[in-house]
Amino acid sequence: MIATGSASEVAARRFVSVATRIEPAAEATCRRDAPDLRCDFEIVVDDSPDASINAYQLRDDRDRPVIVVTVPMIAYVQNDDEMAFVLAHEAAHHIARHLDRRRESTRASALIFANAAARTGASGVALETAARVGAALGARAYAKDYELEADAVGARIARDAGYDAINGARYFERSPDPGNRFLGTHPPNANRVEAVRAALR
């Protein structure tokens, strides 16, 4: 049983309180900026015992946007602003249609690589390998741009919900910096903080 006032209980209460405010702000932004999308967000917790510090966005089998936050992430954030920024960032991925755009990029890149391989006479396994390589490259081609866009849109959602997005973005000060790796999926942390600041100017 969790003791009253324990770190775990404080983190759980923070998550519930922040999610209650971020959800309507995200839905309002979605209805304004992407009215053709489903905007009825569901925010859920991944309590898998082996889950890492993570949050992500997906759509369920009814096409409803879902924001998933792991228990380690809920414990990792240090204040309401950071929790709000994490949730708003994931909501922004849906509003900016990143899942669909990544799927289209993956499909197009796989086709380009497969066609190029076919022109060289490749077939069978070689053709399948070319398509897989193309798909992998396509999935990563705009990943950094998507993260920066979600940071900007998310910052405005967090602000609209009454949170300090600049303080929320201080989350990056404690996070490992991915640097600017070729085909990396996340941009340098400094770029992300600047994207937040620019969005709120």
Half-sphere exposure in the Cβ direction for 66 (13 Å, CA): 13
Confidence of residue 199 (pLDDT cuts 50, 70, 90): very high
- Which of 97, 119, 118, 115 has the alpha carbon at shortest distance from 107? 115
Contact 197, 152 (CB under 8 A): no
Indicate the DSSP class of residue 100: H
Confidence of residue 8 (pLDDT cuts 50, 70, 90): confident
Residue where the block lists tokens 């702000």: 25
Rounded distance, CA 88 to CA 153, Å? Answer: 8
Would residue 175 count as lying in a domain? yes
Could you give the number of structural domains in the chain?
1
Contact 153, 26 (CB under 8 A): no
Would residue 119 count as lying in a domain? no
Average pLDDT rounded to a whole number, residues 122-142 = 61
Would residue 125 count as lying in a domain? no
Residues 6+ apart with CB under 8 A from 74: 11, 12, 14, 15, 45, 83
Residues 6+ apart with CB under 8 A from 112: 134
Would residue 152 count as lying in a domain? yes
Would residue 195 count as lying in a domain? yes
Would residue 128 count as lying in a domain? no
Q: Which helix (H) or strand (E) holds 56?
A: strand 55-59
Q: What is the value of pTM for the model shown?
A: 0.80
pLDDT digits (tens, 9 = 90+) for 11-53: 999 999 999 999 999 999 999 999 999 999 999 999 999 999 9
Would residue 156 count as lying in a domain? yes
pLDDT digits (tens, 9 = 90+) for 66-123: 999 999 999 999 999 999 999 999 999 999 998 887 776 656 555 665 567 667 776 6
Would residue 184 count as lying in a domain? yes
Rounded distance, CA 118 to CA 44, Å? Answer: 44
Range of the domain at 169: 7-99+142-200
Q: Rounded to the nearest 10 degrees, what angle do helices 7-33 and 143-160 cross at?
A: 100
